[in-house]
Structure formats: C-alpha cells, structure tokens
C-alpha cells in the first residue's frame, strides 16, 4: 500500500480510504470486523465513518461496530487514522429536537462525546463537518473545534460536501482567529462520471492545502461494470446508477467505457479507482466494500498503473468540465 500526507499536514494516510457506511445496514458486525482486519492487513490505515451511519433507528450503529472492533485488540487503534462526521440529526425518533443536529457549538460538543463513546476511543483523528450549516457562523464552529483540540478529543478538522467558496471562507476565518489550523481535508463527490468538483472544489482544496477524499468513486456502481453484470445476469443497476442509465446517452457512454477497459484487460471498478489516484490533489478515494472480495478488488487499484493511452481514452469518454471560470465563461 502506498501512503501520502493528508493535505498540508504531516499525517500519513493510505491512498485508499476504508468507507464504513455499509457496516450495519448491509454488512453484519462479524463480516464488518473481517473487512477491517483485511484492510489493516493490506496496509489501509485511513478509516472513515459518520455518526449517522446505520441510519434511521440504527443511526450510530456503524460507529459502535468500529468501536467493538477496536476493543478486541488495543493495538488496532494506534494503527488507524480515524475519521468521523457531524451534522445529521442524532435525536430520538419522532419530531426532531432543536440542537441535535448541524454545527452549533452545543451540538458539536454533544456529538463528539457521543461518537467517542460509540467508537470506544479517547480521540478522533479527523473530525469532519458532513455538510455546510448556513445558520452557524464559522467563528462559532472554530471556537468549538479549538476547545475539542485543547481537550485532546480531536486532532484535525475536515469538511464534506463543501463548495469551493465555503472551503475558502472557513479557512480564512480560521486564519484570522489564529490558533486553529483550519480544514485539512474535503470529502466530495468525484469520479469519472461526475467531475464538477474539478471546477472549484478541488482548486480551492489545493490552494488551501486540503487533502481531497472522493466519495462514491464508482458513482453508485455505474463505473463498476454495470452493463456487463446486467448481461451476465449477476446484478441489475439500482439507485444512482439506474437513474443515470435511463438516459440513452449515458448508457452509450458507459458502454464505450466498458468496451475500452475490456480492450485493455482492466476491470472497470479497478480502473475507476486507479484513475482517481492519478488526479491532482486527491489523497485517496473512499471504498465502501460490502464483502472481502470487493475490498480485494479495491486494493488492486492502488497498485495499477494506467497507460497514457487508456487515460486519454477515459478523458474522451468522460471529459471534465475544465477549470473555472473558463468552464462557464470565456
């Protein structure tokens, strides 16, 4: 496994990030623990989760599964760079109570303590804002984060789903306040089929020294050989992939993509991950395996070198928007 520094920090993380969103809803605890064992054995040291994972009445379940895995072996926690997120409502089912979600100082304090308890650890390495909070000023957010850093409960702060201007705003306010390093990472939707992040989010992240952590690297399965799987009767597209394939133009593009990779003898899902690892500013994509086999496939991507011919072909099929402002101006 290859490693890189997370943005402008000195923290070394693996070029693949283990996403845990399926732990609980789709993968039971025993299999989730086996996947984490395999990830660590493969050299993946960056684990990502969120307080709401588990969803619905089971929100928080995923963090608990990870915490139970840590409790089995005290040495595991020191090997893992642990990231979780705050924003979603964690109140009891029924009408949402005020102050049980988003990024107020009150909720940040409550949420981090609850996550630490579920994760069975005394600190979180990267504490991420899962979404922007339009009603809470960054001065308040950074004040809360400063306290958590001083208490030793978190080490770094990151963002997720932030537009470029919010990345800039957050870090400019952090710089003015002093004492806070500001955001060190941004998790964004980024893959071959969805490249709008290249316009402003990734340039902002690079300018401010944030590591870029793409989520949904296969675009909900669209880039994982979905058409071939349909023909072979293995699995039909669902969710985001099914919605996209309803457009004949998208289906034709995906068919060209699969044909190109078949010509080069490369698995589609592996190629999509390997492509992200060639992109400027990308720390590593989040892979969310439901099985050990899916994890093994993702690990192969970390070692794959794509030829220039293949990279050119991928750009022709899925051209990016280009940088801003040229992407929408002259």
Active site residues: 53
Q: Three-state secondary structure along the chain? A: CCEEECCCCCCEEECCEEECCCECCCECHHHHHHHHHHHHHCCCCEEECCCCCCCHHHCCHHHHHHHHHHHHCHHHHHHCEEEEEECCCCCCCCCCCCCCCCCCHHHHHHHHHHHHHHHCCCCEEEEEECCCCCCCCHHHHHHHHHHHHHHCCEEEEEEECCCHHHHHHHHHHHHHHCCCCCEEEEEEECECCECHHHCCHHHHHHHCCCEEEEECCCCCCCCCCHHHHHHHCCCCCCHHHHHHHCCHHHHHHHHHHHHHHHHHCCCHHHHHHHHHCCCCCECCCEECCCCHHHHHHHHHHHHCCCCHHHHHHHHHHCCCCCCCCCCCCC
């Amino acid at each position: 496994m290859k490693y890189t520094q997370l943005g402008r920090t000195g923290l070394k993380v693996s070029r693949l990030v283990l996403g845990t969103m399926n732990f609980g809803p789709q993968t039971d605890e025993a299999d989730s623990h086996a996947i984490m064992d395999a990830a660590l054995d493969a050299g993946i040291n960056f684990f990502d989760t969120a307080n709401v994972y588990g969803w619905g009445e089971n929100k928080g379940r995923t963090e608990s599964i990870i915490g139970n895995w840590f409790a089995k072996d005290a040495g595991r926690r020191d090997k893992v760079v642990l990231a979780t997120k705050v924003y979603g409502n964690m109140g009891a089912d029924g009408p949402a109570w005020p102050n049980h979600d988003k990024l107020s100082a009150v909720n940040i304090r409550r949420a981090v303590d609850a996550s630490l308890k579920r994760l069975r650890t005394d600190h979180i390495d990267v504490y991420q804002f899962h979404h922007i909070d339009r009603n809470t000023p960054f001065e308040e957010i950074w004040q809360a984060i400063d306290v958590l850093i001083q208490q030793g409960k978190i080490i770094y702060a990151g963002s997720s789903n932030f537009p470029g201007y919010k990345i800039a705003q957050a870090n400019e306010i952090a710089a003015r306040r002093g004492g806070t390093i500001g955001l060190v990472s941004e998790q964004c939707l980024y893959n071959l089929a969805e490249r709008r992040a290249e316009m402003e989010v990734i340039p902002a992240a690079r300018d401010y020294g944030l590591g870029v952590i793409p989520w949904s690297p296969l675009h909900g399965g669209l880039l994982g050989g979905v058409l071939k799987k349909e023909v072979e009767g293995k699995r039909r597209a669902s969710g985001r992939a099914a919605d996209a394939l309803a457009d004949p133009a998208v289906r034709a593009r995906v068919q060209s993509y699969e044909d190109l990779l078949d010509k080069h003898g490369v698995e589609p899902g592996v190629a999509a991950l390997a492509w992200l690892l060639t992109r400027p500013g990308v720390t590593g994509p989040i892979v969310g395996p439901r099985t050990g086999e899916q994890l093994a496939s993702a690990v192969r991507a970390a070692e794959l070198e794509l030829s220039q011919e293949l990279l050119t072909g991928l750009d022709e099929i899925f051209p990016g928007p280009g940088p801003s402002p040229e992407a929408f101006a002259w």
